[in-house]
Chain A
Amino acid sequence: MNFLTPFSDAIAAYENPNAVLACSDALRQRGLSISPGQAKALCETRENALRQTARIEFRGGTLEKLIDAFSDSDFVRQDNFVELLQELIDLFYASRNEIPDAVSDDELIEYMKRALNGACAGSIELLGGRELPMMYRRLRAGETIAQSMEKLS
């Protein structure tokens, strides 16, 4: 019975591009900026990622967390910032389907940040192809996310 069921397709709480633009002040201190068009593109990337991973987000805020966490990375520059964020958004939601719900969004973002800044040396390919799958395997083997983080070089 689907009369009252709004989940026939993945839907996402509307992420307001203005909320993304509100991060501008913090970004400016780090020498970065986001235009309204880029903010809208990031919101669209999030919606597509949610749809592709068949997930639903009832409240926003994840995008701002990702921007805040990765904007101070040594490997982020103004010219690759938005593109890198889009790839990180895709990886984030894909990873959420691979790990238990008990692992919080903050812990996953922290792991991704440490891996990208450390073992991956800024390479998204290494993050998505090696470090994150390794973390999935460790979690399935019974390790905690904290133990996995300790093993990051």
Chain B
Amino acid sequence: MNQIANLSKIDPTRIDPRHYFESLVQRAAECGLLAESTIHRIQIQLTALAAKQADIMLHGATASIRVETAQMLLDSSMFTIGTGLKAIGSADAAVARIAEQPEQVLFEDGLRRVQELCAVARNRLRKCVPFAFCARERTPSDAGRFAGLREMPNQSVRTGAAVRARIDSGWKTAARAESGNRRFTPTAGDAGRS
């Protein structure tokens, strides 16, 4: 069966997924898809983006920041833009978007994508560890879900150590349930073990 595939000027295997945005721009520049003036415009807009992030972070208290802090802000901005561009799927389409849109728009798109991914991750974690993000009061609809528990913890357990402990506890319980060939149901002991 013959398949029609789009011929991409950019070899996707040569794009570093960890530094997607920088890598993509570099490859696009090598292939002549982005002009030097566009790259100069991107650099200026990235600096402006980092400046805006610095203002947000420091509440405008100081006009100067350490170079490493500026670098960190720039890296995180580029990561965010790259995350948004990855969702486009095709490298050529991503390059076209880079050429068309200002960095601020790309950043906002990326931020939305990051928030979506975080929400997905949070949902998956919640399925594995029922109380990883318990920050609300118990409601009547929770009665069936948390049957068997003396009380549902109301305090937020968003700190890294607490969440890690709960993940650990959840995995152990799941493994036990699997080895015992029974349905995994959290018990009061499971919740309290963390």
Contacts and interface: CB of A to CB of B under 8 A. Distances in A.
Please say whether chains A and B are actual partners in one complex: yes
Contacts of B55: 58
Nearest to A62: B63
The secondary-structure label for the interface of chain A is loop
B65 A56 contact: yes
Report, as a range, how many residues of chain B touch the other chain.
20 to 34
Contacts of B54: 58
Nearest to A96: B64
B64 A57 contact: yes
Given A7-B74, A58-B50, A97 B66 contact: yes
A40 interface: no
A146 interface: no
A141 to B, nearest CB: 21
B62 A105 contact: yes
Contacts of A50: 64
A1 B23 contact: yes
Interface of B: 16, 19, 21-23, 25-26, 39, 42-43, 46-47, 50-51, 54-55, 57-58, 61-68, 70-71, 74, 78
5 contacts: A3-B22, A56-B64, A56-B70, A97-B66, A105-B61
